[in-house]
A and B are shown apart, each in its own frame.
Chain A
Amino acid sequence: MTAQEVRLCGLLLREHFGEVVEKVGTHLLKGGAQNLRTIIHETGISLDLVKKSLCVLVQHGACVFRSGRKGAGSPTEYQTCCDRILRILRYPRYIYTAKTLYGDTGELIIEELLQRGHMTMSGTIKTVADRLTQNMEEGRSMDYSEVSSAFFRLVETHFLQRCPPLAGAEPKDSATPAAPAPPGTPAAPVSTAPPTPESFPDCYKVPHVTLVGRGKRQLASEDGEDQRNAKKAKMDSQTHGDEGICWQVNFERFHLHFRDQAIISAVANKLDQTSSEIVRTMLRMSEVTTSPTATCTKPLSANEIFRSLPTSYNIPRPILDQYLTLLIDDPMEFVGKAGESGGGMYVVNMHRALANLARATLESVVQERFGSRSARIFRLLLRKRHLEQKQVEDFAMIPAKEAKDMLYTLLSQNLVQLQEIPKTPDYAPSRTFYLYTVNQLPTARMLLQNCYKTVANLVERRLFESKESKRLLEKSQRIEAILASLQASGAEPEQLTEVEEMITAPEKQQLEALRLHINKLDSAENQVDETIFLLESYINSTASTS
């Protein structure tokens, strides 16, 4: 939990849940596992508010609780992990993926679950149906069964999973797998692997739910009435047979999907469309048979691949074999050959593909930041591991002075390291070899921290820009509200134009510019998040294989 991660988590919590939750959350992040009294004492927030913030954090899976370390009977301790909070950054990507795969219904289901943290199936379906109905034309409404079927499909493909039940005195947590197993609890599981939601057999079982009806359209009425209606909907006393079974979004599955997409697009860039289709088929076939931390998929025979290819790609069998051979010969080693049975057994090397993608990311950062010649030196050092300065100049064909300059710049930014090999025990500089080298994993970690800092900077800038124009924004909001109420009560066009003119033209321009700025900052955050995802996957994959 580095300082940059804590800062970014704080900003995300503030944006999504408010300042009180931010204070409690950052305090937990910095302080490790603490009990309620400590939190209250050290943050100075009242008991009530702390309790509510902890509820919010637990609801979203960011905080886990367990009985204290001093033995059963000591107060429960709460612990937060920054991984789960950093996922908030990726919500737009999850929602977009759900939209591309399952349409609007899927998108709304995922959005609701992300916003609420945990929710029962019936609750989700009803809310989503209502929302969809609102966006449809008059007279049409969304049937619950359609939404249910979308929900089933999401569960089938493991994008949604059940929250593991909390069991009495020894709560098994449903937070990220990174949460440690309770150390002092006597009945704690012996294995050090933390209990994940997937260790429960019913994880993906959809309960039998009686849910019949259609979405209700919310009528356009006064604000106050809306509030009351909303409250009434929540206290709906209908039961549907699935109380206590909450569902949450399975982030790991989404990450696997993103990883597959990254590999497929890399293959498409490097080779051609058909090869990427073949790799896509192979990955699709091994979606459920491969564990998330495996370095390569299970071997697939060429016959199976041939049969599973989409029918639009009408390539004859020998051509498929040629494509597979080309994929194997490619230096990027996306696909490997694991045997000869069944026409050739092929695997997708995920760990190696991730390593290559991470390496390409590092190279691209060096290229954009320092120029293509420095990128040449960087790639040269990645290939040849250790080189003396003279050798670097010779291989890269860059004049000595410039090469020296570039190497020293890279060294000062810590992208390149020096390895000393002494000829004499006293490390005298004239009698020591100095070799330049690049270590991919530590450099990736460093860049990841830079990414976190960048995103935090972007968020802060966005908040700053909104704060600067706060007065203007409030004014425009007031005017919009007035306009809406005038329109609803049927005013004449002159009154409307009069109200509209209350915003002067330069102010309109300012508002427009502000809107553009905020959009730009938002999209930049998403782009940096893509880099974060690649680097994180690479680091996790390397850590689990080594």
Chain B
Amino acid sequence: MAEVKVKKETNLSDATEVENRIKQLCQQFPHGITDQVIQNDMPQLEPQQRAMAINKLLSLGQLDLLRNSSGLLYRMKDVQSASKMKGSDNQEKLVYQVIEDAGNKGIWSRDIRFKSNLPLTEINKILKNLESKKLIKAVKSVAASKKKVYMLYNLQPDRSVTGGAWYSDQDFESEFVEVLNQQCFKFLQSKAEVARDSKQSPMVQRNSSFATSHEVWKYISELGISKVDLSMDDIETILNTLIYDGKVEMTVIAAKEGTVGSVDGQMKLYRGVNPVIQPTGLVRTPCGLCPVFDDCHEGGEISPSNCIYMTEWLDF
């Protein structure tokens, strides 16, 4: 660098001034500057010098190199993050950048390899390094439990990775869902009973047995059985499972915008219902529930004459 200074002494300010000028330009255009901009500003600067100045800034970690459709962009880097990366070499910086770009969702180690073109062993070393420096963290994805995605240390993992309110530490909380299920059902059932006992006209009875999803949500929040805050969408998924259990039915009505709990001018109403038929005749016999029904025929190992299930059932 001293040579450069000596050579161009007469023509140009020294390289640091070039760098400073570039830095100033970057600060002027926070979105980034292209080569063209630098050239316009310092037309007398030779491309070689420019390149060297830029490389120096990059290696110092003060400038970010980006690419857009028209060419290369140089952007000012945060001082803070610049200080973080001191002492790391280029590869680590590259990996870090790739992880940062992945944002909330995190990125898998194989994808990092594709993006940075580094061999796997290098990647693993770098990742371990970065983790020990507490710059990134590994989060286990709920979809595939062996897969680890990496994201920046201070970022909150996205819902799709952790699974949202129903997952705690990668485990589906089925008891929690069951408890919520039963509580919602009890609430709707008691509401329906109150409506039925009120002995008013049938239309009023039916309408009062309905509960909006907002009411259910308020009831569950007030019950306080959930450690996590549940949104109305969560409650609606629980109510949907009750529909699939055949215990609850739903209607949608048009509601004025602005009434509590309305979404896009609609409100969902739920009410408890009774089953339509009793358990059917076939399942009251042992054959209806028999696990070896298909193997049973007269004269075989399993036959109606020597069926042990029937014997037990007859003696019941």
Contacts A269-B276, A397-B166; is A323 near B202 (CB within 8 Å)? yes
Residues of B272-316 contacting chain A, CB below 8 A = 273-285, 287-289, 293, 296, 298, 303-305, 307, 310, 313-315
B245 at the binding interface (Cβ < 8 Å): yes
Supplied contacts A332-B276, A530-B280, 19 more A-B pairs, CB within 8 Å: A269-B274, A269-B275, A269-B277, A270-B274, A270-B275, A360-B275, A364-B277, A365-B280, A365-B283, A365-B288, A369-B288, A379-B246, A397-B241, A450-B287, A454-B285, A460-B305, A464-B305, A527-B285, A534-B280
Q: Which of B174, B243, B281 contacts A530 (CB 8 A)?
A: B281
Write out the residue numbers on chain A whose beta carbons fall within 8 Å of the beta carbon of B166.
397
One of A137-145, A168-176, A516-524 contacting the partner: A516-524
- Contact indicator B244/A460 (Cβ below 8 Å): no
- Contact indicator A458/B283 (Cβ below 8 Å): no
> B237 to chain A: closest CB distance in Å?
7
- Contact indicator B314/A447 (Cβ below 8 Å): no
- Contact indicator B277/A361 (Cβ below 8 Å): yes
Contacts A368-B279, A400-B172, A524-B285; is A395 near B304 (CB within 8 Å)? no
Q: Which of A380, A397, A458 has the most CB of B within 10 A?
A: A397
- Contact indicator A326/B277 (Cβ below 8 Å): no
Give Cα A274–Cα B279 distance, bound, in whole angstroms: 23
Q: Which of B238, B249, B287 contacts A454 (CB 8 A)?
A: B287
Contacts A376-B241, A376-B245, A528-B281; is A319 near B276 (CB within 8 Å)? no
- Contact indicator B244/A395 (Cβ below 8 Å): yes
A461 at the binding interface (Cβ < 8 Å): yes
A383 at the binding interface (Cβ < 8 Å): yes
> A316 to chain B: closest CB distance in Å?
10
- Contact indicator A322/B277 (Cβ below 8 Å): no
> A508 to chain B: closest CB distance in Å?
17
Residues of A316-347 contacting chain B, CB below 8 A = 319, 322-323, 325-326, 329, 331-332
Contacts A325-B203, A460-B298, A520-B314; is A383 near B246 (CB within 8 Å)? no
Give Cα A369–Cα B196 distance, bound, in whole angstroms: 33
Q: What 1/0 mask marks residues of chain A from 363 to 390 whose CB sits below 8 Å from any chain B CB?
A: 1110111001001110110010000000
Return the 8 tightest CB-CB contacts between A and B, nearest first: A527-B281, A368-B283, A454-B287, A457-B304, A464-B305, A399-B172, A531-B281, A322-B203
Q: What 1/0 mask marks residues of chain B from 196 to 209 whose CB sits below 8 Å from any chain A CB?
A: 10000111001000
In the assembled complex, 22 residue pairs joining A and B whose CB atoms fall closer than 8 Å, in A order, are A270-B274, A270-B275, A272-B196, A272-B202, A326-B202, A331-B249, A361-B277, A364-B279, A369-B288, A372-B245, A379-B244, A395-B240, A397-B237, A402-B174, A450-B282, A450-B288, A461-B307, A524-B284, A527-B285, A530-B280, A530-B281, A531-B282
- Contact indicator B237/A447 (Cβ below 8 Å): no
Contacts A325-B203, A461-B310; is A454 near B240 (CB within 8 Å)? no
B85 at the binding interface (Cβ < 8 Å): no
- Contact indicator B296/A457 (Cβ below 8 Å): yes
User: Which residue of chain B has the shortest Cβ distance to A380 in the bound complex?
Assistant: B244
- Contact indicator B203/A326 (Cβ below 8 Å): yes
Give Cα A274–Cα B278 distance, bound, in whole angstroms: 20
Give Cα A527–Cα B281 distance, bound, in whole angstroms: 4
Q: Which residues of A contact B (CB under 8 A)?
A: 265-266, 269-270, 272, 274, 319, 322-323, 325-326, 329, 331-332, 356-357, 360-361, 363-365, 367-369, 372, 375-377, 379-380, 383, 395-400, 402, 447, 450-451, 453-454, 456-458, 460-461, 464, 513, 516-517, 520-521, 524, 526-531, 534
User: Which residue of chain A has the shortest Cβ distance to B240 in the bound complex?
Assistant: A395
Write out the residue numbers on chain B whose beta carbons fall within 8 Å of the beta carbon of A513.
315
Write out the residue numbers on chain B whose beta carbons fall within 8 Å of the beta carbon of A364.
277, 279-280, 283
- Contact indicator B283/A369 (Cβ below 8 Å): yes
In which size bucket is the chain B interface? 35 or more
User: Which residue of chain A has the shortest Cβ distance to B305 in the bound complex?
Assistant: A464
User: Which residue of chain B has the shortest Cβ distance to A266 in the bound complex?
Assistant: B276
- Contact indicator B285/A458 (Cβ below 8 Å): yes
Write out the residue numbers on chain A whose beta carbons fall within 8 Å of the beta carbon of B285.
454, 458, 524, 527-528
> A6 to chain B: closest CB distance in Å?
13
Write out the residue numbers on chain B whose beta carbons fall within 8 Å of the beta carbon of A379.
244-246
B65 at the binding interface (Cβ < 8 Å): no
Write out the residue numbers on chain A whose beta carbons fall within 8 Å of the beta carbon of B240.
395
Write out the residue numbers on chain B whose beta carbons fall within 8 Å of the beta carbon of A274.
202
Write out the residue numbers on chain A whose beta carbons fall within 8 Å of the beta carbon of B177.
397
Residues of B114-160 contacting chain A, CB below 8 A = none
> A175 to chain B: closest CB distance in Å?
27
Q: Which of A265, A325, A396, A453 contacts B293 (CB 8 A)?
A: A453
- Contact indicator A461/B304 (Cβ below 8 Å): yes
Q: Which of B181, B245, B280, B289 has the most CB of A within 10 A?
A: B280
> A459 to chain B: closest CB distance in Å?
8
Write out the residue numbers on chain B whose beta carbons fall within 8 Å of the beta carbon of A529.
281
> A355 to chain B: closest CB distance in Å?
12
> A448 to chain B: closest CB distance in Å?
10
Q: Which of A325, A363, A395, A451 contacts B241 (CB 8 A)?
A: A395
Write out the residue numbers on chain A whose beta carbons fall within 8 Å of the beta carbon of B289.
368-369
Residues of B196-234 contacting chain A, CB below 8 A = 196, 201-203, 206
Write out the residue numbers on chain A whose beta carbons fall within 8 Å of the beta carbon of B172.
399-400
> B253 to chain A: closest CB distance in Å?
11
Give Cα A534–Cα B279 distance, bound, in whole angstroms: 13
Give Cα A369–Cα B283 distance, bound, in whole angstroms: 8
> B235 to chain A: closest CB distance in Å?
12
Q: Which of B203, B276, B287 contacts A360 (CB 8 A)?
A: B276
Give Cα A322–Cα B205 distance, bound, in whole angstroms: 11
Q: Which of A363, A369, A461 contacts B305 (CB 8 A)?
A: A461
Q: Which of B276, B293, B313 has the most CB of A within 10 A?
A: B276
Give Cα A129–Cα B206 distance, bound, in whole angstroms: 53
> B102 to chain A: closest CB distance in Å?
22
Give Cα A375–Cα B305 distance, bound, in whole angstroms: 31
User: Which residue of chain A has the shortest Cβ distance to B173 in the bound complex?
Assistant: A399
Give Cα A326–Cα B244 distance, bound, in whole angstroms: 22
- Contact indicator A447/B244 (Cβ below 8 Å): no
- Contact indicator A454/B282 (Cβ below 8 Å): yes
User: Which residue of chain B has the shortest Cβ distance to A530 in the bound complex?
Assistant: B281
Give Cα A360–Cα B314 distance, bound, in whole angstroms: 27
Write out the residue numbers on chain A whose beta carbons fall within 8 Å of the beta carbon of B298.
460
Write out the residue numbers on chain B whose beta carbons fall within 8 Å of the beta carbon of A377.
244
